[in-house]
Amino acid sequence: MLELRSINSFYGDVQILFDVSLEIKEGEIVTILGSNGAGKTSVIKSICNLLPIGSGEIYYEGQRIDKIPPYKLINLGISLVPEGRRLFPDMSVYDNLRLGGYPLKDKKTLSDNLEWVMELFPRLKERSKQLAGTLSGGEQQMCAIARGLMIRPRMIIFDEPSLGLAPVIVDQIFEILTQIVHENHSTILLVEQNAQTALEISDRGYVLENGHIVLEGASKELLESPEIQKAYLGL
Amino acid sequence: MNFSYWMELIMSGVVTGACYALIGAGLSLIWGTLKMVNLAHGEFYMLGAYILWVSLTVGNMPLLIAIPIAAVSVVVIAALLHMATIRPLLRKPGWDMSPWILTLGIQILLQNIALQVWGELYQNVPYFWNAIFKPGNLFTISGQRIIILFGTFAVILLLMFIIKKTKLGRAIIATSQDGEFATMMGINTKRVYLVTYGISAMLAAIAGVLMCPVYSVNPWMGTTVQTKGLVVCILGGLGSVEGAIIAGIVMGIVESLTVSVVGSAWRDVAAYLLLIIILYVRPEGLFGRKREG
Ligand SMILES: Nc1ncnc2c1ncn2[C@@H]1O[C@H](COP(=O)(O)OP(=O)(O)OP(=O)(O)O)[C@@H](O)[C@H]1O
Ligand SMILES: [Mg+2]
């Protein structure tokens, strides 16, 4: 469904990603692991063309997408739940969610989808009039995820959804992620540092180090692999 | 000094204030979305007035055609300037400085073009409506001032409707709060930048059109108005359109009262004093939001 063919990305003259290739098949959950500064967010920004790639190719459903402007991606059914949530802080929760459905032409679809995400996160329904910037961290993350779901995306990219959240909320959020896949047959690209949980819910994983993919495989195998256990699972 | 005297003073303040409000609202919109100060804003006001004057005198057009021509021409000029000069620099390295230099250059350029084309003589545009009213025999007000008040009111109402109730408005608000991420919501932010610049220029042009019969038309008429517009924009809270509108009206009234009570030399002193006092009490401006970090 999504394929990166040896992409190289730069911030100015500094190269950040080196020949990164990865593939995500329809219906899969794929996780990217890596320590701080490994380049995970840069991979995502490259996919979304927020960081135009220096070389390489990116395909989505057979179509080359590395040259199309970022605002058109959502029309292909790709949605991003970004690092640090990036809610519109001075807008209400409701307006944030409605903005997530910005490309939807049909009012009925918009209100159906609003109802659906509010069902997934009843907390947001209670707080729908509150300004997003005043939500708690966990609520903000729920709001960011709900906003990302508003178009019922076919492919959804999460950048560290569990960052800074209490374990209970992390479990809740991962549970909802798996539920979304099963209900909607969405495809998920998940960036995480919480390796244990991420590998448990995903099908395959890639390990990124200093901008290079150093390891890839089925999540089950990665969980068993000694390198991963040592570097990411603290075993 | 009776009731009608004060009433007329306040009305005259509100009329000047309406002009500041239109200029300030536009500057605030541009600040909010593009995060830049548009030093060429007063020149859109000036061009609006000149194009109206030319359409009326040279073109012999009826007012109801001349006004839209002035507004639309200024929007076209602003849009072309935006695409040719601002867009290529937007968010590029040096963006903290480049808009100041760029728009200052555009200001000087447009003033000198106006000077070359139309000369330095002050031109006059007749009142749109030559009537004098005495509502309830309490005070007198001219037809032109009534048109300024209602015109400004209608334009501001329309602007608020666009910002609060339309999809374009939501795109503008999202872009002003997080321009990079707004693109991931499917918002073409480049177009939002262009459209807000055009809307702001149109607000300035309409101000110029409405005010020029009261003042006069000359190449430098935009500079004072722009300075006041910037003051009003800061006073209202940078990026807050409502704030700029309210601050504009307040500023107009304060100036008008100052002129009559202590003399016209104190007009600008009062304006800046008001700015200093309000920023001392509320550094974020009347309607600005406090930001941490
Ligand atoms: N805008 C930028 N300009 C210059 N360098 C950047 C920029 N953004 C990121 N970098 C650098 O690129 C490298 C990779 O950053 P990236 O954000 O992709 O890491 P990450 O794997 O997402 O890390 P984290 O887990 O901390 O989010 C880092 O060394 C970072 O300092
Ligand atoms: Mg990151």
Question: Are A159 and A235 found together in one domain?
Answer: yes
- Above pLDDT 90, what percent of chain A? 76
Interface test with A, best of B184, B189, B287 (most A CBs within 10 A): B184
Question: Are A93 and A144 found together in one domain?
Answer: yes
Choosing from A18, A31, A41 the residue with most ligand 1 atoms within 8 A of its CB, the one to mutate for a pocket test is A41
* Partner residue opposite A71 with nearest CB, options B177, B178, B183: B183
**Would you say residue A186 has pLDDT above 70?**
yes
- pLDDT for B293 equals 36
Nearest CA to ligand 1 atom 16: A39
- pLDDT for A39 equals 95
Q: Min CA distance, B190 vs chain A (Å)? A: 10
- pLDDT for B1 equals 59
Question: Are A70 and A157 found together in one domain?
Answer: yes
Identify the helix (H) or strand (E) that includes residue A14.
strand A14-24
Helices (H), chain B: 3-34, 41-57, 63-81, 87-89, 98-118, 143-165, 167-177, 179-182, 189-211, 221-235, 241-261, 267-281
Question: Are A163 and A56 found together in one domain?
Answer: yes
| Residues on chain A touching B178 (C-beta within 8 angstroms) | 86, 88
- Whole-angstrom Cα distance, residue B125 to residue B52? 8
Please count the CA atoms within 13 angstroms of the CA of B125 that sit on its side-chain side: 31
Question: Are A1 and A73 found together in one domain?
Answer: yes
Please give the residue that has the higher pLDDT: either B85 or A165. Answer: B85
Q: Min CA distance, A47 vs chain B (Å)? A: 12
B233: nearest Cα among B33, B34, B13, B21: B21
CATH label of the domain that carries residue A12: 3.40.50.300
- pLDDT for B148 equals 96
Number of domains in chain A: 2
In three-state secondary structure terms, B14 is helix
- pLDDT for B291 equals 56
Which residues form the domain of A98? Answer: 81-152
Residues 6+ apart with CB under 8 A from A181: A27, A29, A187, A188
- pLDDT for A179 equals 85
A102 near B189, Cβ under 8 Å? no
Question: Are A139 and A160 found together in one domain?
Answer: no
Interface test with B, best of A49, A68, A71 (most B CBs within 10 A): A71
Contact A74 B185 (CB under 8 A): yes
Closest B-chain CA to A98: B170
Question: What residues flank ligand 1, with Cβ below 6 Å?
Answer: A 11, 16, 34, 36-42, 83
Question: Are A57 and A161 found together in one domain?
Answer: yes
Query: What atom of ligand 1 comes closest to residue A35's alpha carbon?
Result: 25
- pLDDT for A172 equals 84
Question: Are A36 and A88 found together in one domain?
Answer: no
What is the number of the ligand closest to the CA of A38?
Answer: 1
Nearest CA to ligand 1 atom 26: A36
Q: What sign does the CA torsion over A106, A107, A111, A114 have?
A: positive
- Structure confidence at residue A178 as a pLDDT band (50, 70, 90): confident
Question: Are A228 and A161 found together in one domain?
Answer: yes
Domain stops at, among A134, A152, A170: A152
Q: What is the mean pLDDT of residues A159-179?
A: 86
- pLDDT for B48 equals 98
Contact A86 B177 (CB under 8 A): no
Residues 6+ apart with CB under 8 A from B99: B34, B36, B37, B38, B86, B89
- Structure confidence at residue A64 as a pLDDT band (50, 70, 90): very high
Question: What is the topology classification, in CATH, of domain B3-281?
Answer: ABC transporter involved in vitamin B12 uptake, BtuC (1.10.3470)
Choosing from A14, A17, A42 the residue with most ligand 1 atoms within 8 A of its CB, the one to mutate for a pocket test is A42
Identify the helix (H) or strand (E) that includes residue A116.
helix A107-120
Residues 6+ apart with CB under 8 A from A107: none
Question: Are A112 and A211 found together in one domain?
Answer: no
Q: Min CA distance, B243 vs chain A (Å)? A: 16
Contact A71 B171 (CB under 8 A): no
Least confident of A1-15, A221-235, B80-94: A221-235
10-residue mean pLDDT profile of chain B (293 residues): values are 86 95 96 94 98 96 96 98 95 89 96 96 93 87 94 96 95 94 96 98 98 95 94 91 94 94 89 90 82 46
In three-state secondary structure terms, B90 is coil
Contact B185 A102 (CB under 8 A): yes
Question: Are A135 and A159 found together in one domain?
Answer: no
Question: Are A165 and A68 found together in one domain?
Answer: yes
- Whole-angstrom Cα distance, residue A139 to residue B251? 42
- 3-state SS record for B141-192: EEHHHHHHHHHHHHHHHHHHHHHHHCHHHHHHHHHHHCHHHHHHHCCCHHHH
Per-residue pLDDT tens for A71-90? 999 999 999 999 999 999 99
Residues lying with their CB under 5 A of ligand 2, a single-atom ion: A 40-41, 83
Per-residue pLDDT tens for B208-232? 999 999 999 999 999 999 999 999 9
- Above pLDDT 70, what percent of chain A? 99
Q: What is the DSSP string of A33-57?
A: E--TTSSHHHHHHHHTTSS--SEEE
Per-residue pLDDT tens for A37-61? 999 999 999 999 999 999 999 999 9
> Hey, what are B141's tokens?
């007000």
- pLDDT for B292 equals 45
DSSP state of A96: H
Q: What is the mean pLDDT of residues A149-162?
A: 93
- Structure confidence at residue A235 as a pLDDT band (50, 70, 90): low
Q: What sign does the CA torsion over B111, B221, B103, B73 have?
A: negative
* Partner residue opposite A88 with nearest CB, options B174, B186, B189: B174
